[in-house]
Amino acid sequence: RLLKLKSDGTELVTNVQVAGDARENVRRVEEEENKRQRIEKLEAESKAAVEKFEEITKKWSQALSREIPQDLQTMLLDQKSSCDVMIDEKNKLINDFQQELKGLDDRYVKDLKKQAEDVDLMIERMDEQIKNLTKAYREELLQIEKSFVSERTELIENNRKKWQTLMQHRRDKEVEFLESRRKRVEDYEQQLDTLRVQDAEEYNMVKIKLETDVQ
């Protein structure tokens, strides 16, 4: 039971860690992909800007060769428009990167919040696991104590019975010995009584004989 509780509790905590690691792996993959796309955009924009700048530079030479003011004004307006387009493209790229950066910041805050929630969940599950294990340990310890008390009681009872058996056997032996000794004493007393009677009879016979002889 304890092993299962440990296994289940560890699995609950590990599930949170695995989910967090999976999200982190996805985030890293997406970040690498976004980084690659940003580099491609920067390289493409840089190449386009160089080409546009070279085109504008060439047109400046053409503008300087214009002798008619209207043509020169038209060229200048075209150049200004081209420069505005370049600036707009750069501003758009900057704005895209700023939006992406804002998205990354928002995601970072969201990830931090999710990580905090994961940590809270892990702590909650670990606390629950500790509570369950503590309860299980106490129950098992109580069961061990009950088993120990039962075995101790049984052992004491068995020893008590053995002691009683030994004491009873000893008492029986003592009674048997005393009874045997009593019988021997009675036999000795009976033999002594018999001898005394015989001696008395012999004494009387001798006495009568002596008295007869004297007469």
User: Would 202 be classed as within a structural domain?
Assistant: no
Which of 14-23, 92-101, 204-213 shows the lowest mean pLDDT across its residues? Answer: 14-23
Structure tokens of 9?
A: 């509790």
pLDDT at 112: 80
Structure tokens of 50?
A: 């160089």
User: Would 200 be classed as within a structural domain?
Assistant: no
pLDDT at 61: 64
pLDDT (mean) for 131-159: 89
Host domain of residue 142: 1-169
Spatial separation of the C-alpha atoms in residues 101 and 106, rounded to whole Å: 9
Q: Is 157 helix (H, G, I), strand (E, B) or coil?
A: helix
Structure tokens of 132?
A: 């369950």
Share of the chain above pLDDT 90, in %: 14
> What is the domain count for the chain?
1
Please, are residues 8 and 128 in contact by the beta-carbon 8 Å criterion? no
User: Would 210 be classed as within a structural domain?
Assistant: no
User: Would 194 be classed as within a structural domain?
Assistant: no
User: Would 63 be classed as within a structural domain?
Assistant: yes
**Threshold 0.95, pTM exceeds:** no
Q: Is the pLDDT of residue 162 over 90?
A: yes
Q: Which long-range contacts (CB under 8 A, 24 or more apart) does 28-35 make?
A: 34/100
Q: Over the stretch 62-102, which tens digit does the pLDDT of each residue have?
A: 655 655 566 656 666 776 777 788 788 888 888 888 888 88
pLDDT at 83: 76
Q: Is the pLDDT of residue 164 over 60?
A: yes
User: Would 6 be classed as within a structural domain?
Assistant: yes
Spatial separation of the C-alpha atoms in residues 193 and 199, rounded to whole Å: 10
Q: Which long-range contacts (CB under 8 A, 24 or more apart) does 79-87 make?
A: 82/52, 82/55, 82/56, 83/56, 85/52, 86/49, 86/52, 86/53, 86/56
Contacts of 78 by beta carbon, 8 Å cutoff, 6+ apart:
59
User: Would 178 be classed as within a structural domain?
Assistant: no
Orientation of helix 69-214 relative to helix 2-64, angle to 10°: 170
pLDDT at 157: 93
Residue 89 burial (CB < 10 Å; 0-12/13-18/19+)? Answer: middle
User: Would 145 be classed as within a structural domain?
Assistant: yes
* pLDDT-based confidence at residue 166 (cuts at 50, 70, 90): very high
